[in-house]
A = this chain, B = another copy of it.
Amino acid sequence: MNKPVFSQLNPPQRLLMGPGPINADPRVLRAMSAPLIGQYDPAMTAYMNEVMMLYRSVFRTSNDWTLLVDGTSRAGIEAILVSAIRPGDKVLVPVFGRFGHLLCEIARRCQAEVHTIETPWGTVFTPDQIEEAIKRVRPTMLLTVHGDTSTTMRQPLEELGAICRRYGVLFYTDATATLGGNPLETDAWGLDAVSAGMQKCLGGSAGTSPITLSEQMADSITRRRHVEEGIRDNRHQDGDEPIISSNYFDLAMIMDYWGSERLNHHTEATSALYGARECARLIVQEGVEAGIARHQLHGAALRAGVEAMGLEVFGDPRHKMNNVLGINIPDGLHDQQIRECMLNDFGIEIGTSFGPLKGKMWRIGTMGYNARKDCVLQTLAALEATLNRYGFKTVQGAGMEAAWNSYAN
The answer, yes or no, to whether A231 is at the interface (CB within 8 Å) is: yes
Selected from B37, B199, B245, B269, the residue in CB contact (under 8 A) with A11 is: B37
Whether A38 lies near B21 (C-beta < 8 A) is yes
Selected from B53, B102, B232, the residue in CB contact (under 8 A) with A228 is: B102
Whether B11 lies near A39 (C-beta < 8 A) is no
Q: Please, which residue of chain B has its CB at the minimum distance from the CB of A50?
A: B6
Whether B244 lies near A109 (C-beta < 8 A) is yes
Whether A29 lies near B33 (C-beta < 8 A) is yes
Chain B positions within 8 Å of A134 at CB level: none
Chain B positions within 8 Å of A278 at CB level: 8-9
Q: Please, which residue of chain B has its CB at the minimum distance from the CB of A369?
A: B36
Give A43 Cβ to nearest chain B Cβ, in Å.
5
CA distance A229 to B31 in the complex (A): 39
Whether B268 lies near A206 (C-beta < 8 A) is yes
The answer, yes or no, to whether A63 is at the interface (CB within 8 Å) is: no
CA distance A245 to B244 in the complex (A): 11
Pick from A66-74, A121-129, A180-188, A401-409 the stretch touching chain B. A66-74
CA distance A244 to B3 in the complex (A): 38
Give A14 Cβ to nearest chain B Cβ, in Å.
5
A284-B228 contact, Cβ under 8 Å, with A29-B33, A267-B20 = no
Give A44 Cβ to nearest chain B Cβ, in Å.
8
A104-B232 contact, Cβ under 8 Å, with A14-B38, A23-B36, A35-B23 = yes
Q: Please, which residue of chain B has its CB at the minimum distance from the CB of A275?
A: B271
CA distance A28 to B74 in the complex (A): 26
Whether B33 lies near A21 (C-beta < 8 A) is no
Whether A37 lies near B9 (C-beta < 8 A) is no
CA distance A52 to B57 in the complex (A): 40
Whether B272 lies near A272 (C-beta < 8 A) is yes
The answer, yes or no, to whether A78 is at the interface (CB within 8 Å) is: yes
Contact flags A94-116 to B (C-beta < 8 A → 1, else 0): 00000001101110111100100
Residues of A within 8 A of B (CB-CB), count: 89
The answer, yes or no, to whether A207 is at the interface (CB within 8 Å) is: yes
Whether B264 lies near A54 (C-beta < 8 A) is no
Chain B positions within 8 Å of A71 at CB level: 70-71, 75, 248, 266, 269
A14-B41 contact, Cβ under 8 Å, with A244-B109, A267-B21 = yes
Selected from B6, B37, B101, B271, the residue in CB contact (under 8 A) with A232 is: B101
Whether A274 lies near B9 (C-beta < 8 A) is yes
The answer, yes or no, to whether A277 is at the interface (CB within 8 Å) is: yes
Whether A78 lies near B205 (C-beta < 8 A) is no
A232-B23 contact, Cβ under 8 Å, with A13-B35, A75-B248 = no
A33-B36 contact, Cβ under 8 Å, with A71-B70, A246-B246 = no
The answer, yes or no, to whether A24 is at the interface (CB within 8 Å) is: yes
Chain B positions within 8 Å of A24 at CB level: 35-36, 271
Give A188 Cβ to nearest chain B Cβ, in Å.
16
Contact flags A246-264 to B (C-beta < 8 A → 1, else 0): 1111000000000000001
A11-B38 contact, Cβ under 8 Å, with A206-B270, A245-B110, A246-B82 = no
Selected from B72, B245, B349, the residue in CB contact (under 8 A) with A38 is: B349
Cross-chain pairs A/B with CB under 8 angstroms, 25 sampled? A3-B57, A6-B277, A8-B31, A8-B281, A10-B34, A11-B36, A13-B35, A21-B36, A21-B270, A23-B36, A24-B35, A24-B271, A32-B32, A32-B271, A33-B33, A70-B71, A72-B268, A75-B266, A78-B247, A106-B247, A109-B246, A111-B245, A197-B267, A245-B246, A269-B272
Q: A18-B38, A109-B244, A205-B269 are in contact. List 14 more A-B contacts (CB 8 A).
A: A8-B31, A11-B44, A14-B37, A21-B268, A30-B33, A70-B71, A71-B266, A109-B243, A109-B245, A205-B271, A206-B267, A246-B249, A248-B249, A264-B354
The 5 closest A-B pairs by CB, nearest first: A207-B269, A33-B33, A29-B33, A205-B271, A71-B71
